[in-house]
Structure formats: C-alpha cells, structure tokens
Amino acid sequence: MRRKIESPTEVQRWFRKQAAELDPAGLGSLTLRHNPCVREHCAACLSGEKHPSHVLYGRTQGRRFCIYVPDELVPEVRRCLDNGLALQELMYQTVIRFTKALKHKRTQRVQKVSHEQNRQPSS
C-alpha cells in the first residue's frame, strides 16, 4: 500500500501526536550491579552474591552520570527509557517523512513557477 504524499505540516502534526504518547522519554542504561559492602563477615558478601542494586548511567554534555535507582522505582525508570528508545526510532522516521514532504513541496513550487512563466511570456 502506498502512503499518500504528506505536507510538512502533516508530518509535524503526526510527530507531535506520536511523541505525546512517549512522555517522559529518556536515554541511558539501567543495569543491576552487585556491590560489596563495608561490613565484616557479611553473609551476602562472603557468598559472592554481594548486594544487588540498580544503577542508571549515561552521558550528558560530554560528562558521564551514574545514579542509584531504588528497586521500587525501577519499573517507572525503565518505562521512561523504553519511551526514549521509541522516541529515537520515531525521530528517524520523522526526518525521512519530513524531508520527503519538503522535497515534494519544493517540486510543486518549481512546477508552479515554470507554469506561470509559460503563461506570461516575457515581452
């Protein structure tokens, strides 16, 4: 099925509608770490299991960040990251559709100008 030719404004409207459903959107990596503690003779540390905790890390403005995430907040943070990946995909789709729409609009403009020039021959 061929999609109909969109205008740049239609692409903007489509993007806004899709992006609104991906709120909030974030980027980063959420990982489970197993860190040792400072207690002596800790059963968890001695067993090698240590102390699992979630950490969110990534980069912003050229600097690394690393944030501890309490277990009960993990689902919400993960949803934010899922939205971020979906938004990234949406942005790729958007730039393709938007560029195609701009090119189509430009072609129409060029055709319109040449049509007008044909109707009004220079004296």
Which residues are at the interface with Zn ion (CB under 5 A)? 37, 42, 44-45
Please choose, from the candidates 67, 40, 35, the residue with its C-alpha nearest in 3D space to the C-alpha of residue 52. Answer: 35
**Residue number of the CB atom closest to Zn ion:** 42
Least distance from C-beta 53 to Zn ion, angstroms? Answer: 12
Least distance from C-beta 31 to Zn ion, angstroms? Answer: 19
Q: Residue 45 is encoded by which pair of tokens?
A: 């540390």
Cβ proximity to Zn ion: between 39 and 109 the closer is 39
Cβ proximity to Zn ion: between 37 and 91 the closer is 37
Least distance from C-beta 19 to Zn ion, angstroms? Answer: 44
Cβ proximity to Zn ion: between 37 and 110 the closer is 37
Question: CA-CA distance, 32 to 52, in Å (whole number)?
Answer: 6
| Cα Rg, the chain, nearest whole Å | 26
Contact assessment for residue 44 and residue 51, using Cβ atoms and an 8 Å cutoff: yes
